[in-house]
Structures are given as structure tokens and as C-alpha cells.
Amino acid sequence: MVKISVIINTYNEERYIERCLKNLLWADEIIIIDMYSSDNTVNIAKKYTKNIYFHKREISVLYARNFSLTKANYNWVFIVDPDEIVPFELVNKLKEVAENNLYDAVSIPFQLFFLNRPLYYAYPITHKIRFFKKNVANFPKRVHSQPIINGNILTLEVIDDYIVKHYSVDTIGRFLKKILRYTKDEARHKFFSDNIKFNLYKLIKAPIAEFYYRFFVNKGFRDGFLGFVFCIFMSIYNFLIYFRLFFIQYLNGERKS
């Protein structure tokens, strides 16, 4: 039988880590990669695994993904975030894929829970590549990025049995902290990697377009008041990216052309 390594990247996840780990006891090994948490995350994790490693703190756990893969003892790897719940039916499907060995990676449907309620329209169910052979994957160091897979990818159908529940935003405070961290990274990548320059038009257009697309085109209004609030926050998210881009460009003397 094919063995599977489950990897969890953590930083101050004491509120979520135990629920996550209890749901992963089927794994052949559980690996924790912690960015030096200052809360009780590591002590809780020690109750479930001895495979705990540390990585310097970065703006996102995605920056530690490639390091994480080096700690896996088995060829098949399943990446799970602490605030996610994996359905048992999905586990059976992933084991089946690994046994049949017809694919090198699996793209899995995820549903975002905002303030502990699911969003269907403002943030539709999306696919993420989280199950793969460790030698075919490489993670770009950028927030919200998908791994680059050198192989065949199976995309699972969107049915309840396969959907991972992602409780990413259970408090406004947690959401605001993520927005501040991620927009900083997004702005730096736009300037240094994508060669995108700031202009006032983008600062005004980006947040308006984001709200319009999510609330009207995607029918985010059907998610009710929480859908409206989420769309507002995502509009602010895009405003902050270009607001930060202005200061990065200013501090670097507008040396990007």
C-alpha cells in the first residue's frame, strides 16, 4: 500500500491545529513545519507527531513549502493548512489515485468559510493542487501561488465528498492581519518581479473592478450581508496593493521602467 506524508505549515495556529490534526490521524506520517510560533501551537502538535521542524518566519507559509517537501519520507505528499478540514471521502479518493499511479498530482476543490459561514458566490469554490508526488512539485515564493507540477494532474469534480472546508477567516482581526501581510508581498512582486508601475488610474480602478466582479458578476450578493462585507474587504485588499506599490516605487526611485 502506498504511504502518504501529510505536511502542515504553521505559525501561531493554536486555535485550529488540534482540530486539523485529529482529522489527519489516518496519515502514515504527519510533518509540522513551524515558523517559530509564540503561542501553544508546537506543544499541541507534539501530542500528534514527533516530526516537527522549524523554518524562519516569512510573510507567508508558502515560502516554506519547498523546505517542507525535503522533510517528507514518502513519495506522495498531501499539503494541509491548520484551518482546513479534510473530508474522509476525499482521503479515500486520494489513496485510490496514489495506488493507481496514473497521475502525478491532484487538484482539489476548496470552499472558503468567512466568519464561519460558507461563501458560494463572492468566493466560489476553487481548485488547489495539494496532493502530489514530491519530486514533481516546486512552489513559487509568492502568496496565493500554485505549485508548478511536472507531470499529469487530475482535477477532482466539485462534489461535497471532495470539498475541503477552509476556515480562513473566522474573525475580522485575523482577516485584517492577513490583508496587511499579503498585500505587502503582492506589491513587492508586482514591482520587482512583474515590472508593474504605480499609477493613479490603477489605484482607483482595481478596487472598484474587484468589488464589481465579485458582487455583481459572480453574484456575491446571493451570499447575503457577509458576501457584501467580504467583497468590500477584497476591494480594500486591491486598493492596498497599489497603495503599497506607490511607496515601494517611491523608495526605489522609480527605477523600474
Q: Tell me: the pLDDT tens digits for 113-123?
A: 999 999 999 99
Closest-CA residue to 31 (of 153, 166, 134, 167): 134
Q: Work out the pLDDT band at 2, boundaries 50, 70, 90.
A: very high
Domains of the chain, by residue range, sit at: 4-167, 171-251
Q: Work out the pLDDT band at 1, boundaries 50, 70, 90.
A: confident
Instruction: Flag whether pLDDT at 32 surpasses 70.
Output: yes
The answer to whether residues 83 and 136 touch, using CB atoms and an 8 Å cutoff, is no
DSSP string, 150-193: SS-EEEPP--GGGPEEEEEESSHHHHHHHHHHHHHHHHHHHHHT
Q: How far is it, in rounded angstroms, from Cα 82 to Cα 34?
A: 11
Predicted TM-score (pTM) of this structure: 0.93
**pLDDT > 70: what percent of the chain?**
98
Q: At the topology level of CATH, where does 4-167 sit?
A: Spore Coat Polysaccharide Biosynthesis Protein SpsA; Chain A (3.90.550)
What cell does 128 get? 488547489
Instruction: Flag whether pLDDT at 221 surpasses 80.
Output: yes
DSSP string, the chain: ---EEEEEEESS-TTTHHHHHHTTTTSSEEEEEE---SSSHHHHHTTT-S-EEE----SSGGGGHHHHHTT--SSEEEE--TTEE--HHHHHHHHHHHHHT--SEEEEEEEEEETTEE-SSSS--EEEEEEEEGGGEE--SSTTPPPEESS-EEEPP--GGGPEEEEEESSHHHHHHHHHHHHHHHHHHHHHTS-PPP-HHHHHHHHHHHHHIIIIIS-GGGGHHHHHHHHHHHHHHHHHHHHHHHHHHHHTTT---
**pLDDT > 90: what percent of the chain?**
91
In this prediction, residues 155-167 reach a mean pLDDT of 97
